[in-house]
Structure 1
């Protein structure tokens, strides 16, 4: 070091101090690169180029880190105006688009449901704008908005946690062979239709959500 130069705050060989935003950004990028990786403090620290103990200065535990990640993802998923001429088409488009954008973040979905931050407000505002022309009173409009949001989030979580349809059918077929005849007769004929039913399920969920809102508007 030349005369007159000063030492930086960081000691020689010590990794640079990271900000909370940098850590969360590195963790989200890790999850996007490797959706199936189990997020741990150690793995996030490695992705951020830091030591695990350094992360505890910002996050007391793994849950706090995942909550911050969920808030970041929800902030970045700003909704655009859904396609469609009718409110029904726009709600359907919103629910399909939201599900597809949420699915890569399966580990964060429970934390998205638990967030207390205002990160979900743009999505709620978009839904309220779509539905307000229906003339619902404020209580029913609130119910309709929450119905759409919670249905979309819960189904995204369900889809990321359930086994593939073929594995489900194979497992049920094997298990059914050991069950009473009444169960075999009741469930056996249904199993070949399960893959198709899973493929049709979300469209049916959307139809029922729209029908519920139509009922509120009619009432």
Structure 2
């Protein structure tokens, strides 16, 4: 997934290695991908490119500037081949899953990806408009459709990154429920038992709801529910669109 921008130029004995902005970003993307939970710091990136931290400040004024550049690289790398579904619905379903899987390894970059000022999203937007072409939307509605799909993907990736692991969440909720009255325990207890599985099913439901919203926007007849990806359970297609993204 991470491609190198080439080897560093040769150097004479005793001379510091010559860097480029691209080499630094390559190294930073690789670090985040290998260890998503470790904060990306100037020091770690400098060690990865065998340089002093101060040398990186020639290319990036501060850590935020570096993180924006890394986030832009991750976003611009969303240049997938067009899905091979038999309809725009199947293509969009596959493309939304590919996009989520692409963003999933980079939780700490999501706030920067959502607020980028660079044209990093352009390749993804171009492919998305091709997929949605059969809806024959006007420019204004097509822009709304692109925004709807984009915020769904990034929002769900953000939710997944911030959500506590299912066993931890279940344990905390069970402890809180034990302090509730008997009636509440009877009502909520069975729901808590299914909550971890519900989160596993969530994105398929959100994708189907997004497709339903686009069908309504374009006036297209509703298509059949799409089969979930490998290992995922089928869910009903209901108009329960949810989008927690800050976009």
Q: What TM-score do you get using the length of structure 2 for normalisation?
A: 0.79
| 1:110-189 → structure 2 map (5 Å cutoff) | 110-180=111-181, 183-189=184-190
Unaligned runs of 5+ in 2: 1-10, 221-247
- Which range moves more in the overlay, 162-171 or 177-186? 177-186
| 1:5-154 → structure 2 map (5 Å cutoff) | 13-154=14-155
Give 1:179 deviation, angstroms. 3.8
User: d(CA) in 1 for partners of 2:67 and 2:84?
Assistant: 32
Structure number having the greater helix percentage = 1
Deviations 1:42-62 (A, max 9, x none): 111111111111111211211
User: d(CA) in 1 for partners of 2:12 and 2:81?
Assistant: 47
Give 1:209 deviation, angstroms. 0.3
Q: How many pairs does the alignment contain? A: 210
CA contact (8 A) 2:78 2:123 kept: no
Unaligned runs of 5+ in 1: 1-9
SS across alignment from 1:104 = coil
Give 1:32 deviation, angstroms. 2.1
Question: What's 1:203 paired with?
Answer: 204
Give 1:181 deviation, angstroms. 5.0
The structure having more radius of gyration, on CA atoms, is 1
CA contact (8 A) 1:27 1:48 kept: no
- Which range moves more in the overlay, 31-40 or 178-187? 178-187
Q: What TM-score do you get using the length of structure 1 for normalisation?
A: 0.89
